[in-house]
Amino acid sequence: METKKMCMALFTGSLDKLTAAGVILSGAVADDMDIDIYVLLQGARAFLKDVADKPEMLNMAENANLRKEFEQGLKRLNVMPWIEFFREAKQMGNIKIHICGLAGKLWGGEKLEDFVEIADDIVGINEYITKAQQADIHLLI
């Protein structure tokens, strides 16, 4: 079977959308897809080494008033923290996490070492467009 490709533009830096991205990512990994994630503007902040494991540094995209229910619900259902979806995907499948160079600088992330250990490289926009052109599934989250 031919390997399908997924390309994700991950703009969001919010807890709920990052969790959704993680769930979608898991589905793609289960299907053995080749996955490229381009972490853009707000997303790059969430992927900073000093932020990724600290959900308290992130907001909700929607229904901010229901944050407690959201977090307690995920815990009750044994859903892992958003960044763990990305770590697990990295272990299980062929997934590359690219950080947008502009976004990195915006939040003080000049070097790859400033980001969480699963980030592969810092790239420019042409790489994203090229992968998006080749992808079977393309998502903007």
Place of tokens 């229910």: 69
The interface mask with another protein, positions 19-48, x = CB under 8 A, is ----x--xx-xxxx----------------
Judged by CB under 8 A, the residue of 64, 66, 92, 106 near another protein is 92
Closest alpha carbon to 28 in 100, 126, 123, 94? 94
The interface mask with another protein, positions 47-86, x = CB under 8 A, is ------------------------------xxx-------
Nearer to another protein, 18 or 29 (CB): 29
C-alpha pair distances (Å), 122 with each of 38, 44, 89, 95: 9, 10, 19, 15
Residue 2 engages another protein in binding (rule: CB under 8 A): no
Closest alpha carbon to 123 in 87, 94, 96? 96
Asked if residues 66 and 36 have their Cβ atoms less than 8 Å apart, the reply is no
Residues at the contact surface with another protein, assessed by CB under 8 A: 1, 23, 26-27, 29-32, 77-79, 88, 92
